[in-house]
Amino acid sequence: MKNIVTFIRAKIIDYENKKIEVQKLNPDPVLRKKAFDQLDDNRVHCLLYFFGGGVSKVDFKLIRKIENCTNVIPVISMGDSYSKAELSDYKVKLADMAL
């Protein structure tokens, strides 16, 4: 659980440090803009979190930690194989556990 959060935070911090270096090296705004455009952006912009058959509190602890670093989109895996009633029940169960 810590590994993915640490990885995401490291990518964000690394990118921010590179931006600071570019600002220090390029006082001219035009040159700074060109340098920013050449930076490799390796940050994690979005994370798809797939919920399987079982849902636990650990899932939501991880999501809460990750959402401080990046966007998290919860996805119900194999959601198309559920009936409408089953899918509705599953969503209610997820919502109850999220609180």
Provide the pLDDT for residue 3: 79
Based on the fold, state whether residues 97 and 69 are members of the same structural domain: yes
Q: Please list the pLDDT of the chain residue by residue as tens digits (99 residues).
A: 567 778 888 888 888 888 888 888 888 888 888 888 888 877 788 989 888 777 788 888 888 888 888 898 988 888 888 899 988 888 888 888 877
Number of domains in the chain: 2
Whether residues 55 and 31 share a domain: the answer is no
Quick one: what percent of the chain has pLDDT higher than 90? 5
**10 and 51 inside one domain:** no
Question: CA dist 55 to 18, 51, 75, 85, 98, Å?
Answer: 39, 7, 12, 18, 10
Kindly state whether residues 29 and 62 are assigned to the same domain.
no
The pTM (predicted TM-score) of the whole model is: 0.67
- pLDDT at site 98: 76
Distance CA 94, CA 55 (A): 7
Question: Domain range for residue 68?
Answer: 45-99
Rounded Cα distance between 7 and 85, Å, is 38
- The SS3 of residue 43 is coil
- 34 and 80: one domain? no
Asked if residue 86 and residue 69 are part of one domain, the reply reads yes
Residues 33 and 54 in one domain: no
Same domain membership, residue 70 and residue 32: no
44-71 pLDDT, tens digit each: 889 898 887 777 888 888 888 888 888 9
